[in-house]
């Protein structure tokens, strides 16, 4: 139960942070063109860093060839708080995070078929667009 709750909280934090991308439409044509060119390139891997006002930041790494995605969450002091790895080909999620005693714990869990299908859709989209 604790694992699912922690994962749910992590996903909620990520989804709240990502909504900010949609509301930031104040950019010029040059930035828009550079962004579109970046998205249209074939990429072996992608990296996206999202920084928040309170100093928290999230780093997303995606290897498009192996279909592995890693998400790291850091506190305002730059210390790793949690890491999640989705290995789409092996249908596995690995999570590592700190418990209430500030000790590192982790687990691995198989991914259900409906989630695997959704992950496949996500991997068809650029990591930047997925986050935004």
Segment 42-57, tens digit of pLDDT: 678 888 899 999 999 9
- What's the domain range around 31? 2-131
Task: Give the count of domains, the chain.
Answer: 1
What's residue 116's pLDDT?
Answer: 81
Segment 73-132, tens digit of pLDDT: 999 999 999 999 988 676 889 999 998 998 999 999 998 888 888 877 777 777 777 776
Q: Where are the beta strands (DSSP E) in 43-130?
A: 45-51, 57-63, 68-74, 80-87, 92-98, 104-110
What's residue 42's pLDDT?
Answer: 67
Cα–Cα separations (whole angstroms), residue 84 to 24, 43, 46 = 27, 22, 16
Each residue of 19-34: b (16+ CB within 10 Å) or e?
eeeeeeeeeeeeeeee
């Amino acid at each position: 139960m604790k694992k699912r709750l922690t994962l749910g909280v992590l996903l909620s934090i990520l989804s709240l942070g990502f909504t900010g991308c949609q509301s930031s439409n104040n950019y010029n044509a040059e930035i828009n063109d550079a962004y579109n060119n970046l998205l249209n390139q074939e990429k072996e891997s992608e990296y996206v860093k999202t920084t928040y006002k309170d100093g928290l930041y999230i780093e997303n790494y995606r290897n498009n060839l192996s279909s592995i995605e890693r998400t790291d969450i850091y506190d305002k002091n730059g210390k790793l708080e949690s890491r999640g790895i989705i290995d789409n080909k092996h249908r596995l999620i690995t999570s590592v995070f700190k418990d209430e005693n500030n000790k590192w714990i982790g687990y691995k869990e198989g991914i259900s078929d409906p989630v695997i299908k959704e992950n496949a859709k996500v991997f068809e989209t650029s990591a930047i667009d997925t986050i935004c």
